[in-house]
Amino acid sequence: MVVSRQILSSIVVGAAVCLGVFLVWTAALRRKDNVTPGSSSLTTSQTPTTEESKLSQQVAGVGQRPVIPSKRSGVEKKEFSAPPSPKEVATEVHKRIASGLDTEIRKATNGLYEAFFQQLSLASTVQEKVIDILTKDQKQLEQQAFEAAQSGNIPVPPTPDEIRSQQEQQNQQLRTALGDAGFAQFVQYQATIPDRLIVDAVNQEGANLSESQSQQLLQILAEARQQITGQSSITQNLASMSPGDAMAIVQQQQAVLQQTVGSRVQNLLTPQQATALQNVFVQQNILLGGG
């Protein structure tokens, strides 16, 4: 809200008058306190003292003399500054949201690769570097989406060539951080992440798998997935397909995976645990658009 010059001047004048009255009242109290106890009466003079005269003149002249605004502090100046624009507000809100989102993404990524970090006994600095590399593209996509929304445009998804280029760049950065042997183990581990997520989801469904069951289910899932994707040369070309065609291939592979795994866990899982596994597959099918 913008305060007019007239209102601001009135406020300053009023404050000055109040200050003068307060000073007079304080001076009177001080004089009263300084009276000697032995005096039984006070002699009042009709002629004010020099100090009182000056003070009275100062109070009386407050409303007559032009008020010279005092230098305001940085905080006071900020109170009267123009409010931020909608764009500035949106940018500040986005920074806060992006910061929180980045924290969550890094936390989730660390959870996905925690077993890999332990497997290689990686130092914390190397772990942070790997997480930086793995989350870089996600942060860029989020920033691009925000900038597109600010300009009123629809975010443009990366082309297959751009995806391949980003993947190659990421692989090179990971190879530099982990070394050739470490990167080879990373690739093997990364291929099992979808199956690790399934095992975690089954436990969240209340299956309460033992450590032995979890490891065996993970192995069954990984082997079945490798057989299904290894038999199809189409899988290698998913990045070059249209989104619709690629999704159709993934849905077909998911259906075969569900059937293959279901027949292999009969002697491993209890009926309740097997039901939990099937529920997870159904949820994945829905997410993939398979209904």
112-157 residue pLDDT tens:
999 999 999 999 999 999 999 999 988 877 777 777 777 788 877 7
- Tell me which amino acid residue 227 is: Q
Q: How far apart are CA 135 and CA 146, in angstroms?
A: 17
CA distance 281 to 286: 9
Q: Is residue 241 part of a domain?
A: yes
Name the least confident of 5-9, 57-61, 201-205: 5-9
Instruction: Tell whether 266 is covered by a domain.
Output: yes
Q: 277 and 229 in one domain?
A: yes
Distances in Å between the alpha carbon of 268 and those of 72, 115, 192, 275? Answer: 76, 23, 20, 13
**Residue 268 or residue 9, greater confidence:** 268
> Does residue 231 belong to any structural domain of this protein?
yes
- Last residue of one domain, picked from the residues 139, 164, 191: 191
The number of folded domains in the chain is: 2
Listed in sequence order, the residues at least 6 apart from 233 whose beta carbon sits closer than 8 Å to its beta carbon are: none
Q: Burial code of 36-47, b = ≥16 C-beta within 10 A, e = fewer? A: eeeeeeeeeeee
Domain annotation covers residue 281: yes
90 and 187 belong to one structural domain = yes
Distance CA 194, CA 208 (A): 19
Which residue segment(s) compose the domain that 235 sits in? 192-291
Q: Distance of CA 266 to CAs 107, 144, 148, Å?
A: 35, 47, 50
Residues 94, 111, single domain; the answer is yes
The verdict on 90 and 186 lying in the same domain is: yes
Q: Are residues 202 and 289 in the same domain?
A: yes
Please say if the pLDDT value at position 37 is more than 70. no
pLDDT: is 46 or 161 the higher one? Answer: 161
For residues 118 and 170, membership in a common domain is answered with yes
148 & 167 share domain: yes
205 and 263 fall within a common domain: yes
Q: Is 43 part of any domain?
A: no
Q: Which among 146, 164, 191 is the end of a domain? A: 191
In the chain, the percentage of residues whose pLDDT exceeds 70 is 65
Same domain, yes or no, for 114 and 138?
yes
Q: Please report, for residues 74, 76, 207, 229, 279, the alpha-carbon distance to residue 71 in angstroms, rounded to integers and kept in the order given.
A: 9, 10, 70, 74, 70
Residue 39 has pLDDT above 50, yes or no: no
* Structural domain contains residue 45: no
Q: Are residues 139 and 183 in the same domain?
A: yes
Nearest Cα residue to 158 out of 249, 243, 85, 51: 243
pLDDT band at residue 21 using 50, 70 and 90 as cut-offs: very low
Please give the model's pTM, rounded to 2 decimal places.
0.59
220 domain-assigned: yes
Range with the poorest average pLDDT among 45-54, 102-111, 180-189, 258-267: 45-54
Q: How many helices (H) and strands (E) does the chain have?
A: 10, 0
Question: CA-CA distance, 196 to 214, in Å (whole number)?
Answer: 9
Tell me whether residue 256 is in a domain: yes
Q: Specify the residue for token string 């990524």.
A: 109
Q: Write down which residue in 167, 191, 215 finishes a domain.
A: 191
Cβ atoms 146, 134 nearer than 8 A:
no
Whether residues 222 and 265 share a domain: the answer is yes
CB 172 within 8 A of CB 247: no
* Per-residue pLDDT at 233 exceeds 60: no
Same domain, 212 and 168: no
